[in-house]
Amino acid sequence: MTRDGEYRSKLLKLLADQARAELEASNIYSRWIAKAPGPEERMHLAEIAKEETEHWYGTIKILEGLGVSPQEANSEWATNQWFYALVHILIPRYRWEDILMLTFLIDRCAFLLVEDFAQSSYAPWARFAQQVLAEEVSHVDFGNNFVRSQVEKLGAKRVQRALDKWWRVALNSFGPSYTKHTPQYIKLGLKFRGNEDRREAFRRDCEAQICQLGLQIPKLYRRTYPFI
């Protein structure tokens, strides 16, 4: 494969994965708008669902600019990750506390990945990712404030149980510490750090927030990927 061919294939894979992630988030938050326990929660979820939909739309437009339809991106380029299979199994069982943890943990994971894309060597994506990043900052802030308010409404024990459940999912969502593709992504300027670097950044930030909220950092029975 030529360098141009390698660049295109890696770029399409990352874009396809990002489009799927944004669509999954949009679908989940949209389903829960009507189920939100109060007017403030409903308004917050509606805003997040709207922004995630806009992020998905912007990403598929970049793909279309590269001659790839949303259907082709999903069927031929997106990675078949265990994470999405697990999410689809869990969706019917979601409770309000699970949605709470998505805003607190999983949106923070997404923020760290978009940070990489905002420095992408592919200029159209870098420009769009910089716009997304500004909104993802508000998602992270919202997640922090949201958890704080729900600790007061639901009680710390109930929120802690949800945190214990989702902590390992969040840590595992970054993937293995090293993959053969990471050096290629960095060499091509499509990412600037590996999975473990992003995971450590996530832990530093999130663990500090957990302590500030008066919650406990969940215990891990395995301290390397895959976390259990």
127-160 pLDDT, tens per residue?
A: 999 999 988 787 788 788 889 998 998 899 999 9
Indicate the fold that domain 3-212 takes in CATH: Ferritin (1.20.1260)
Quickly state the pLDDT bin for 99 (edges 50, 70, 90). very high
What pLDDT is recorded for position 136?
79
How many C-beta neighbours within 10 Å does residue 78 have? 20
Binned at pLDDT 50, 70 and 90, residue 117 comes out as: very high
pLDDT score, position 85:
73
When mean pLDDT is compared across 31-45, 128-142, 175-189, the lowest value belongs to 128-142
- pLDDT number for residue 30: 95
Going by C-alpha positions, the residue among 145, 147, 138 that lies closest to residue 166 is 147
pLDDT, residue 201, reads 97
pLDDT attached to residue 138:
78
- Identify the pLDDT of residue 81: 67
The answer on pLDDT for 116 being more than 60 is: yes
Per-residue pLDDT reduced to its tens digit, 54-81: 999 999 999 999 999 999 999 999 986 6
CB–CB of 102/87 below 8 Å? no
* Span 201-219, average pLDDT: 96
Q: What is the pTM of this model?
A: 0.91
Residue ranges per structural domain of the chain: 3-212
Asked whether residue 83 carries a pLDDT value surpassing 80, the answer given is no
pLDDT value at 111 more than 70: yes
